[in-house]
Amino acid sequence: MDSLHQIANWMPALVHATGTTLALTATSVVTALALGIVLALAKISGNSWINKPATAYVFFFRGTPLLIQLFFIYFGLPQIFPELNISSRFLAAYIAFSLNIAAYLAEIIRAAIQSIDKGQMEAARSLGMGYGQAMRLVVIPQSYRRMIPPVCNEFIMVLKDTALVSIIALNDLTFQTKMIASNKASALVYVPALAIYLVLTAIFTIIFNNLEKKFSVYE
């Protein structure tokens, strides 16, 4: 009973910190999705002035650890460029996560677009559409269904990876859990923290599975 009472006392702080975790996940993924579309289109472009920078971007952010990128943006960047000092921990985490996730989503989106039969583009062009119009009205809408599963998986991965922001003392679920464990000298707090992460993952998995089934009807 004492353990349950302790957990009940900790829950308000944990739930509040969960809000930060969800906010960071949602804002980062939405921003990264927009940037990922731009990068994907740039990567499949025949223009090397567009293609090469996009390819380099994806290589860099996929080839270096997210944690190091977070450290660099929050600690390193202000030392190199003092005017770029980011005082907000949430903003620093948001920038790092958005830039990193965009590289992964770019590859997902690129693969989905290129999986569409080339005949679709040829048919659209034969109807008098320009390249951009054909991509926007014909190719990309057909690729949505193929993007959904990997994008949803990426969202869930990001939800769990947000635990990394505790290293810069952003008050997310992991940081709040560590603080309670330290202040109360009790490891029991890790039990509700694990449960919250598990519940969140389960909820979003169900939502995304239903979304995938809904769109697969039209496949």
Which segment, 90-104, 111-125, 136-150, is predicted with the most confidence on average?
A: 90-104
Calpha distance 36→99 (Å, rounded): 9
Distances (CA, A) of 38 to 51, 106, 139: 11, 8, 15
Q: Which long-range contacts (CB under 8 A, 24 or more apart) does 27-30 make?
A: 27/94, 27/98, 28/93, 28/94, 28/97, 28/98, 28/101, 28/158, 29/101, 29/154, 29/155, 29/158
Calpha distance 71→96 (Å, rounded): 9
Q: What is the distance between the terminal CA atoms of the chain, rounded to a whole angstrom?
A: 53
**CATH assignment at residue 133:** 1.10.3720.10
Q: What is the DSSP letter of 46?
A: S
- Comparing CA positions, the residue from 164, 71, 57 lying closest to residue 100 is 57
Burial class (CB in 10 A: 0-12, 13-18, 19+), 121: middle
Mean pLDDT of the chain: 88
Calpha distance 130→107 (Å, rounded): 24
Question: What is the span of the domain harbouring residue 162?
Answer: 2-216
pLDDT of residue 46 exceeding 80, the answer is: no
Contact 166, 178 (CB under 8 A): yes
1-15, 28-42, 67-81, 103-117: least confidently modelled range: 1-15
* Per-residue pLDDT at 127: 72
More confident: 128 or 109? 109
Per the structure, how many domains does the chain have? 1
